[in-house]
Amino acid sequence: MKWETLSLDTNHEMDNVYILSLNRPDALNALNTKMGVELIECFKYLETQKELRVLIFTGSGEKSFCVGGDLKERKGMTQEAWKHQHDIFEDAYESIRTFPFPVIAAVNGFAMGGGMEMALSCDLCYVAEHAKMGLPEVKLGIIPGAGGTQLLPRTIPIKLAKELLYSGRSMTATEARETGLANGIFSSEELLSGTLEKAKEIAKNAPLSLKALKQSIDRGIQTNINAALSIELEEYYKCANSQDREEGVLAFNEKRKPVWQGV
């Protein structure tokens, strides 16, 4: 598959890990309408890839993950056109959040506005030492509209989230790590290889378990503890009644690596 604004690496040596890159480096990987449409198309395609277990999501170049919406494209945009574009963006971000397998952000520079919301939409986040992350929408007369006001307070302490949102200031890589926004920090040169090693470690595990874990966590965190435990049991029995569970127990007893079938 070929896209104008995206690049997909499916090298089979990456052990069930794909790398999806935003590919507008000359525009600091700013999100335009074309990219929004292609993200929706790409995630639909990725859901058909049976060998995929973990997706790394990053930006082309070393300066920027994504600086948010392309303000040059938005200059002079009518309210109707703005709404149409944002509808596309909403669907694109939902595609990231609801992807069945883990998605890991590798933030290789600026992640501002919609770019930070992309990182927040991923399951895990690793950042380069020079990364800067922020939601500066308040400085432009708007607020985040792709999950920022909801995902950030679910990721870091609420008072810090409010401070960042009210001020529009950015976070350094160190602050992102210390607050729990980022899982770890790598040098610019080692970001992708380091993130890939983390992804490979996850991708070795049972695919049904990975999908069930994501469903259990993401659905459960939105409700009360009793409902959440019911969701956990629902997902637990999807795995417990599977052939992969039988294979996992057998492989353990035979002291070998399991061969997962995803059924």
228-252 tens-digit pLDDT: 999 999 999 999 999 999 999 999 9
Pairing relationship of beta strands 110-112 and 170-172 according to DSSP bridges: unpaired
DSSP annotation string for 113-176: THHHHHHHHSSEEEEETT-EEE--GGGGT----SSHHHHTTTTS-HHHHHHHHHH--EEEHHHH
Are the beta carbons of 105 and 83 closer than 8 angstroms?
Answer: no
Q: Catalytic residue at 246?
A: no
Mean pLDDT value across residues 53-57: 97
Are the beta carbons of 135 and 113 closer than 8 angstroms?
Answer: yes
Q: What is the mean pLDDT of the chain?
A: 95
- Superfamily (CATH H level) for 6-203: 2-enoyl-CoA Hydratase; Chain A, domain 1 (3.90.226.10)
Q: What angle do CA 222, 175, 213 make, to 5 degrees?
A: 30
Chain centroid to CA 30: how far?
16
Domain regions of the chain by residue span: 6-203, 207-253
**Structural tokens at position 137:** 């929408």
pLDDT at 133: 97
The DSSP H or E segment spanning 55 is: strand 54-59
When pLDDT is cut at 50, 70 and 90, the band that residue 75 belongs to is: confident
Out of 4, 38, 137, 232, the active site residue is 137
Q: What is the DSSP letter of 78?
A: -
CATH class of 207-253: mainly alpha
pLDDT at 71: 86
pLDDT at 65: 97
Mean pLDDT value across residues 66-91: 92
pLDDT at 11: 81
Cα separation, 104 vs 245, whole angstroms: 25
pLDDT at 14: 80
The number of C-alpha atoms within 13 Å of 204 and in the hemisphere containing its C-beta is 7
The number of C-alpha atoms within 13 Å of 7 and in the hemisphere containing its C-beta is 12
Q: Catalytic residue at 137?
A: yes
Residues 93-139 pLDDT 10s? 999 999 999 999 999 999 999 999 999 999 999 999 999 999 999 99
Which residues 6+ apart lie within 8 Å of 204 measured at CB?
Answer: 15
pLDDT at 1: 72
Residues 9-46 pLDDT 10s? 988 678 899 999 999 999 999 999 999 999 999 999 99
Out of 4, 47, 62, 117, the active site residue is 117
pLDDT at 74: 86
pLDDT at 150: 96
Residues 173-193 pLDDT 10s? 999 999 999 999 999 999 999
Q: How far is CA 145 from CA 47, 114, 118, in A?
A: 25, 8, 12
